[in-house]
Amino acid sequence: MRIAFAFTWLFNPNVGGTERVTDLLARELAQRGHEIYYIYTVKRSSDSEYNYPTNNIYFIEERTFLSSQGELILCKYLIDNKIDVVINQGGLMGTCMNFANLPVSCKSLTVIHFDPHYGLDSLFGELSKLRNTSLSERVKRIYRVFAYPYRKRKLRDYLKSLYSYWNEKSDRIVLLSNSYVPNFIGLCPNVCRDRLTAISNPVSFPISYNINNKSNIILWVGRMDFRQKRPDLMVKVWAKAFFKLPEWRLVMIGDGPMFDSVKNMSRGIPRIELHGRQLSQPYFESAKICASTSAIEGLPMTLLEAISQGAVPIAFDSYASVRDIIKNEEQLVTPYNIDEYVKKLVELADNMSLQERLRKKGYRIAECFSVKNIADNWEELLYSVIS
């Protein structure tokens, strides 16, 4: 089968979660004999830093792709290369809509890599957050709070329109968890239920049962942004927890637009380290606990990677799929209760037997998300679509 993965950016797994899961799936499907193609529309400086699993890489400049000629250019490429299926990884991006306008000979799958509500439930918290202490920012916050009803309505209308489009154009719409089906149907009540399916992300790393190198490290991994990953909340948690955990340190890895803001927030707080963008696996291998503060996720790679390396996760219960990975109330915190987070984090850090019990349970869960199991699900879907 000839399978084309399509997205705004090229699938460099060192850049983002969507890129990483695509790379894993593409490699596994290639090993099974499928021919893999990549299509993308925006170049990044990091594109050349990785050895991709295919040489069939096609770039269409975004301005051209979104023009009246873009659909014709894409269709010609797909027909010329006899592509069977296009897997559009940009299900939340209007700029990816042309990836569903395909020739009759080619099937279209659209993947939504987040909760279909995509921030509707956390929008007020994002808009009302004071991003710095300046007078101008205080005035801007007042404006944002007053604009909240308009912004929420605009986001809801955008999601409804986008999902209606995918329902019309896609042969299948793929969510990351069955727990997201009600949210999608709520925004797209006319969806053809047979077109809607759920396939999880695979875990990135081989499961490591070696805990000899574990240290008293609480690890936070993610993009430094205040909408999705909420590193600011992690700093607030640690500011209250550090004196209760004198033998522990917080390590935060990741880059993003709010890195400097997080760095400024961290000043004067003991035993907190910001390491910027790094390869995450060595950090998971050495950490005993992985702390997540995300408000929005699809199926969080950070938590999957944590349990595969024996780092016990703790997270806000702020999106439905978190319970696909974390099954215990000791590890789930009411959104966005800082004091409760501190209490549960300290209890987890102080209880080695609890850590070991949850670590073993995490390993069993990680095995369910192996690349082989997830690729089996994808192959079943792909063959059903083209048959």
How do residues 281-295 score in pLDDT, each as one tens digit? Answer: 999 999 999 999 998
Question: Any idea which of 26-30, 99-103, 241-245, 289-293 has the lowest mean pLDDT?
Answer: 99-103
Is residue 262 within 8 Å of residue 226, measured between CB atoms?
A: no
Comparing CA positions, the residue from 85, 114, 115 lying closest to residue 100 is 85
Q: What is the pLDDT of residues 180-191, one digit of tens each?
A: 999 999 999 999
How far is Cα 352 from Cα 65, in angstroms, rounded to an integer?
Answer: 54
> Band of the pLDDT at 331, cuts 50, 70, 90?
very high
Q: Is the pLDDT of residue 72 over 90?
A: yes
Q: Is the pLDDT of residue 247 over 90?
A: yes
What type of residue is 363?
Y
Cα–Cα distances in angstroms (integers) from residue 102 to residues 48, 84, 168, 171, in the given order: 28, 11, 12, 11
Q: Which two tokens stand for residue 239?
A: 């500011």
Helices of type H across 225-291: 231-241, 259-266, 281-286
Beta bridge partners of 377: none
What are the Cα distances from residue 216, in Å, to 40, 78, 86, 278, 349?
42, 52, 45, 19, 8
- The pLDDT value recorded for residue 258 is 87
| 277: alpha, beta or left? (left if phi > 0; alpha if psi -120 to 50) | beta
Mean pLDDT, residues 168-178: 95
What 3-state DSSP class applies to 368? helix
Q: Is 133 helix (H, G, I), strand (E, B) or coil?
A: coil
**Range in 127-131, 245-249, 301-305, 311-315 the model is least confident about:** 127-131
Interatomic CA distance for residues 28 and 335, integer angstroms: 36
To the nearest 10°, the Cα dihedral for 293, 299, 303, 307?
Answer: 160
59, 132, 383 from 107: Cα distances, Å:
20, 48, 11
Q: How far apart, in whole angstroms, are the C-alpha atoms of residue 300 and residue 302?
A: 5
Helix %, strand %, coil % of the chain (to 5): 50, 15, 35
pLDDT higher than 90, residue 134: no
How much is the pLDDT for 287?
97
pLDDT of 367 above 90: yes
Short-list 272, 307, 316, 275, CA closest to 288: 307
Per-residue pLDDT at 122 exceeds 80: no
Backbone φ, ψ for residue 207 (5° rounding): -65, 130
- For residues 321 and 180, is the Cβ–Cβ distance under 8 A? yes
- What's this model's pTM, rounded to 2 decimal places? 0.86
Beta strand extents in 71-130 (DSSP E only): 85-88, 107-111
Exposed, middle or buried, 69 (CB in 10 Å: 0-12/13-18/19+)? Answer: exposed
The pLDDT of 314-324, averaged and rounded, is: 93
Residue percentage of the chain with pLDDT more than 90: 78
What's the rounded mean pLDDT across residues 159-183?
A: 95
- Residue 68 in this model has a pLDDT that exceeds 90: no
Tell me the CA end-to-end span of the chain in Å, nearest whole number: 12
From 77-81, 132-136, 249-253, 270-274, the region with the lowest mean pLDDT: 132-136
User: What is the average per-residue pLDDT within 92-111?
Assistant: 93
Cα dihedral 184, 185, 186, 187 sign: positive
User: By mean pLDDT, which of 3-7, 38-42, 271-275, 325-329 is the weakest?
Assistant: 325-329
Distance between CA atoms of 375 and 32, rounded to whole angstroms? Answer: 10
Q: Taking 90 as the threshold, does the pLDDT of residue 132 lie above it?
A: no
CB environment 177-190: b (16+ within 10 A), e (fewer) = bebbbebbeebbee
Is 272 within 8 Å of 250 (Cβ atoms)?
A: yes
